Amino acid sequence: MNDIRADRILYSYTHNKPVIKHVSINIRSKGITALVGDNGSGKTTLGKLLAGILKPDSGQVWIDGLASQNMTLSDVGQRIGYLFQNPRKHIVATSVREQLLVAHELLEKDPKEGEANAQALLHLFQLEHKAQASPYTLSHGELKRLALASILFSKPDFLILDEPTAGLDHTRMIQLSNYLMKVHQKGIGMVLISHNWAFVKKHADRIVTLEEGKIVHDTQSEN
């Protein structure tokens, strides 16, 4: 996949009150970029614009060389996986296994391939013993892992993760770090939207700081 590129994008939730102000940024396809900043700085909004979930009021976002305004969410979802801060937003099925198979069924692919992929992801994220359980019985950490597994099912080239460590204790945070490194080793690029500075410093090779809807710093990490 090519880079994700934003060219002077502007976005407002309410008229004449832009929360993203003429931002231009190029996100490298195989790197790990962190978006940091205070609450209300525009991190999550920029992440949703880069993921094609929101469309800019002006300017353009290019995803794999295509204008996001001309792409459906299905088109974008096959290229970019977006992890919401609240993992319950991902849940659409009555069992953990079915949650993983939903995307496969929507793409109308071979059922045997879907079962094999589901089993591999259940193993990777240590959810095999929960395969038949309702997602609503899972712990917060298990829900995060299921949400990440479900967006990986469509084999995106890129992940955008909104506060992935929120609500996790230290042990679960380490587990999440290990899972993300395994995913990144498969050549998947990432954007981390996070307040967790230690997590950002550990994983990101580039740190972009937002303030009042504008990029004020863009630096390479020591990683």
- Tell me the pLDDT tens digit for each residue of 42-51: 999 999 999 9
Average pLDDT over residues 184-207: 93
CA separation for the pair 193, 160 (Å, rounded): 8
- Tell me the pLDDT tens digit for each residue of 26-68: 998 889 999 999 999 999 999 999 999 999 999 999 998 889 8
- Domain range for 67 is 4-220
CA separation for the pair 4, 13 (Å, rounded): 23
User: In the predicted model, is pLDDT for residue 109 greater than 80?
Assistant: no
User: In the predicted model, is pLDDT for residue 1 greater than 80?
Assistant: no
State how many domains the chain has: 1
CA separation for the pair 214, 176 (Å, rounded): 29
CA separation for the pair 172, 192 (Å, rounded): 17
Intra-chain end-to-end CA distance of the chain, in Å: 23
User: In the predicted model, is pLDDT for residue 204 greater than 70?
Assistant: yes
Q: What share of the chain is helix, strand, coil (3-state, %, to 5)?
A: 40, 30, 35
User: In the predicted model, is pLDDT for residue 114 greater than 60?
Assistant: yes
Average pLDDT over residues 107-127: 81
The whole-chain average pLDDT of the chain stands at: 90
The DSSP code for 155 is -
User: In the predicted model, is pLDDT for residue 111 greater than 80?
Assistant: no
Q: Residue 48 maps to which CATH number?
A: 3.40.50.300
User: In the predicted model, is pLDDT for residue 112 greater than 70?
Assistant: yes
Q: In 10 A of CB 174, how many CB atoms? A: 11
Contacts of 216 (CB under 8 A, 6+ apart): 209, 210
User: In the predicted model, is pLDDT for residue 88 greater than 90?
Assistant: yes
- Tell me the pLDDT tens digit for each residue of 119-164: 999 998 899 999 999 999 999 989 999 999 999 888 889 999 999 9
User: In the predicted model, is pLDDT for residue 223 greater than 70?
Assistant: no
Q: What's the pLDDT at 97?
A: 93
